[in-house]
Structure 1
Amino acid sequence: MLKLNNIEFYNTPSGSVMVSIEGQEAFMLLPTHYDLISILHDYIMQNYHGAYLALSSLYKGSAQNPSYYRYRIVSRFARCNFGEYETNVVDISKHTFHFEQVHCPLRGTGDCQLEKVVCNPQYTLPLTEMSKFKLIIRWVLLPLWLTIFIVYLPIWYLLMSWYYFSFQDYWESYLVLWDRVMITLRLKNEWKSIKMSCCFSTRNRRCFEASVVRMKHVLW
């Protein structure tokens, strides 16, 4: 099984990427090198996620061909970070990337939007157990929020406002109810950190806008 160890990259004058693995002859990186490209692609995606998102957006036109799509991402990442031929320190050793200051005519000019995004990228810190727990809580609370919102609507209408309907009144009443639910679950502080992305329809636009303002004040 291929391991990310003792691998050296360097650019050629024609723009190709050469790969030198310990114990093997140097070869030009091609889309057919599936094993090497796959392991590098996955490592970049997990550990340099910002660079991966930028490159995946740049090459989204090739996404219909997955092998070529991954090749373009890996090749560009290597060209921008491992392009120099370095004999003292290998580019990848023991699953650790050693980035180089690759000569680039666009560096420092402001003309390259990927500068400091793809070249010399930021390492993506792994999620802590608490961060994972918070993400799970957020996904769990969203359907709960929607369920209570829908179920409480006819109850409130029948008990409190059977002769008319005001979305603003209902919204304020619902926020009070939700606060009580959060207190009961001891998750009120966590709820305030959740960004809501739901959109509700209403005939009264002013009422809806006022409700959104009210929601922001309560949540943030």
Structure 2
Amino acid sequence: MNCTRKFEFYVSPDGSVKVDEEGVPIVKEFTEQEHELTDFVANLIERQYPSAYKALEIEYRASMPNKRFFKFLIVHRFIRCNFGKFDGLTYDIEGEVLHIEDIACPLKWKNDCPLKGIVCRPRPFGLTKREAEIAKMASTGNTYEEISEELGISHSTIKNILQKIKEKLHLSTSKDITKIIITTL
């Protein structure tokens, strides 16, 4: 799938998910037959939010024998828990960046959803406390020099840590780190 595509998702009152893709003139329902989109989003979730992906694998394990449906259930639930609003401000997915939204729980009858904080508003995976701190500082416009001075570590260490974050999150630019950090930390 082309990594420059942009998608906006919203959940209708009946719980179905609609998808609007930039440049495509129709809004369609996100269904099990959307194999390419399902695979693309599942891959992003698994790489960037592995705790959420693993929790959803457990939640839907009974459907595992039907791999396509299993993957669709994971993606559908993640979308419902993180991309429910049709806000028009930013796309929910821009390339490989997921813009997590703060939405009302779609599982209203489950006041104590066991996946709260794991699937909804998940944290990017694998970042150490220090990496998250540096990423957050970089996302607010601080230069390498400013960050290194404030944290008392070298400019090259800051640069290396930001490179490591890009690799961990499978991102291509530092700008993408900023997009993820702003929406998740």
TM-score scaled by length of structure 1:
0.53
**In structure 2, what is the Cα distance between the partners aligned to 1:40 and 1:80?**
14
Q: Deviations over 1:58-104 (max 9, x none)?
A: 00000010000000000000000001111111111131111111122
- After superposition, the CA RMSD in angstroms is 2.0
Which residue number corresponds to residue 15 of structure 1? 15
Match of 2:62 in 1: 61
Cα displacement string for residues 174-219 of structure 1 (whole angstroms, at most 9, x for unaligned residues): xxxxxxxxxxxxxxxxxxxxxxxxxxxxxxxxxxxxxxxxxxxxxx
User: Given the superposition, is the C-alpha separation of residues 100 and 43 from structure 1 closer, same or farther in structure 2, using an over 3 Å criterion?
Assistant: same
Aligned pairs for 1:149-188 within 5 A: none
Distance across 2 between alignment mates of 1:105 and 1:87: 20
User: In the alignment, residue 113 of structure 2 is paired with which amino acid?
Assistant: C
Give yes or no for contact 2:38–2:71 (8 Å, CA) kept in 1: yes
Q: 1:4 to 1:50 in 2, by over 3 A?
A: farther
Q: After superposition, what is the alpha-carbon deviation per residue over 1:15-38, rounded to whole angstroms, capped at 9, x for unaligned? A: 001111011111101111111101
- Name whichever of 18-27 and 118-127 sits farther off: 118-127
For 1:50-129, what aligned pairs fall within 5 Å after superposition? 50-104=51-105, 111-125=112-126
Structure 2: stretches of 5+ with no match in the other structure: 129-185
Moved over 6 A (4+): none
Q: Where does residue 3 of structure 1 map in the other structure?
A: 3
Q: Distance in 1 between matches of 2:120 and 2:71?
A: 17
Q: Is the 8 A contact 1:4 1:92 kept in 2?
A: no
Return the letter of the residue paired with 2:116.
Answer: E
Greater RCO, CA 8 A, separation 6+: 2
* Structure 1 gap ranges (5+): 128-220
Figure out how many residues of one structure are paired with residues of the other and give that number.
Answer: 126
Identity over the aligned pairs, expressed in percent?
Answer: 34
Q: Which has the higher helix share?
A: 1
Provide the C-alpha distance between the structure 1 equivalents of 2:120 and 2:40, rounded to a whole number of angstroms.
19
Give secondary structure in 2 for the equivalent of 1:70: helix
In structure 2, the CA distance between the partners of 1:43 and 1:4, relative to structure 1 (3 Å rule), is farther
Does the aligned pair in 1 maintain the 2:81–2:106 contact within 8 Å?
no
Q: Which amino acid aligns with 2:12?
A: T
Q: Could you tell me whether the CA contact under 8 Å between 1:11 and 1:84 is conserved in 2?
A: yes
Structure 1: distance between partners of 2:13 and 2:96: 28
User: What's the CA shift string for 1:34-61, capped at 9, x where partnerless?
Assistant: 1110111111111100000100000000
TM-score (ref. length: structure 2): 0.63
CA separation of 1:4 and 1:119: change in aligned 2, threshold 3 A: farther
Equivalent position of 1:28 in the other structure? 29
| C-alpha distance in 1 between matches for 2:4 and 2:14 | 26
CA separation of 1:4 and 1:49: change in aligned 2, threshold 3 A: farther
Residue pairs, 1:175-214, within 5 angstroms: none
